[in-house]
């Protein structure tokens, strides 16, 4: 059985640390996701609803729910909801309307 060398332990520790991100790196990433999603959105006065959902790297996406107003004149400023999926590799945002997530009013 081979002995574990200090060099091996040091390299293992460095490799493990490389996967962890600092709070500043996460803040910068969250800012980039928000900027890309709001730019891609078709809504006016768009704002995030809650925090982004960070999917595992195997999935490769971050999801963010957005809310704002429809810009079309016939929509008369109606509120809309969109789901943004941010591709971590390409740094590209994809947005789709998701008004159906709102609960419907029950008839009485």
What string of DSSP letters covers the chain?
-PPPPHHHHHHHHHHHHHH---HHHHHHHHHHHHHHHHHH---EEEEE-SPPEE--TTT-EEEEEEEEE--SGGGTT-EEEEEEEEETTTTEEEEEE-GGGSPPPPP-
Q: Quick one: pLDDT at residue 107?
A: 54
pLDDT of residue 21: 85
Confidence bin at 7 (pLDDT 50/70/90):
very low
Q: In this prediction, what percent of the chain has a pLDDT beyond 90?
A: 73
Average pLDDT value for residue range 51-76: 96
pTM for the predicted model, two decimal places = 0.75
Average pLDDT over residues 55-64: 96
Give the model's confidence band at 4: pLDDT under 50 very low, under 70 low, under 90 confident, else very high.
low
């Amino acid at each position: 059985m081979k002995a574990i060398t200090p060099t091996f332990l040091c390299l293992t520790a460095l490799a493990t640390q490389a996967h962890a991100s600092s709070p500043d790196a996460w803040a910068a990433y969250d800012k980039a996701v928000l900027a890309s999603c709001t730019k891609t959105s078709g809504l006016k006065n768009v704002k995030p609803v809650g925090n982004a959902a960070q999917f595992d790297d195997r999935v490769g996406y971050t999801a963010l729910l957005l809310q704002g107003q429809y810009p079309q004149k016939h929509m008369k400023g109606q509120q809309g909801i969109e789901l943004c999926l941010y591709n971590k590799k390409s740094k590209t945002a994809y947005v789709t309307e998701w008004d159906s997530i709102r609960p419907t009013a029950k008839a009485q």
